[in-house]
Amino acid sequence: MTVRECLEFAAKLKLPGSYSQKMDRVRSIIDELRLNKCQNTKIGGPLIKGVSGGERKRTSIGVELITDPNLIFLDEPTTGLDSFTATSVMETLKELAKSGRTIIQTIHQPNSDIFEMFDRLMLLARGKVIYFNEASLAVDYFSNIGYKCPELSNPADYFMGIMSIESIENEMDQDDDDPGARRRSITFIQGKYEQAI
């Protein structure tokens, strides 16, 4: 099945209206997601060479966009992609957000270019929200509560480090009388967040 055939199948399955209207929507999605060059290429799989990883991700997103939703949830849209392709997919999603759609996604350890594309950021640790605000304010927020991101570091990597299970386990091994250990705890960070809201 080619990229176009995949999108046409989704349109026939999900959209009301005439065949012509459905095909107009498919053409619009192909243009919007920059799939023109690969629209007649097979999607492929483990045994058949097909589109690139980024083109495959954009095709998957296109299938969901067929119905023109205002809200899109994505689970790890950059998983398995190289840095360049992941950034390209995220640029596409940023353009979709600028067109008025709300894009909510889970993502682990984005590169610094991708991190800068985020409008809002929610960080969770132990199932609790420890930050939810503008992504551009996160580094300053954590610095103000004692977690200064090293210069020239990717903030996403730094945040993952302070939220990691290993860090949490190390904190649990520390002496309860050590104020530094308590200060470094997820409970401390979560408490600071609750005070801030």
Q: What per-residue confidence (pLDDT) applies to 182?
A: 43
- Counting beta carbons within 10 angstroms of the beta carbon of residue 48, is it exposed (0 to 12), middle (13 to 18) or buried (19 or more)? exposed
Residue 155 neighbours by CB under 8 Å, 6+ apart: 112, 115, 138, 139, 149
Q: How far apart are CA 70 and CA 72, in angstroms?
A: 7
| Residue at 69 is within a domain | no
| Range among 70-74, 161-165, 168-172, 173-177 with highest mean pLDDT value | 70-74
| Residue at 163 is within a domain | yes
| Residue at 190 is within a domain | yes
What's the total number of domains in the chain?
A: 1
| Residue at 35 is within a domain | no
Q: How far apart are CA 67 and CA 24, in angstroms?
A: 12
Q: What per-residue confidence (pLDDT) applies to 179?
A: 47
More confident residue, 45 or 105: 105
| Residue at 71 is within a domain | no
DSSP code at position 148:
P
| Residue at 20 is within a domain | no
Q: Hey, is 173 helix, strand or coil?
A: helix
Confidence of residue 126 (pLDDT cuts 50, 70, 90): confident
Confidence of residue 26 (pLDDT cuts 50, 70, 90): very high
DSSP code at position 42:
B
Q: What per-residue confidence (pLDDT) applies to 40?
A: 94
Task: Print the domain residue range for 167.
Answer: 121-197
| Residue at 110 is within a domain | no
Enter the pTM of the model. 0.73
Residues 78-97 have a mean pLDDT of 87
Confidence of residue 22 (pLDDT cuts 50, 70, 90): very high
Confidence of residue 120 (pLDDT cuts 50, 70, 90): very high
Helix axes 3-14, 19-32, angle to 10 degrees: 130
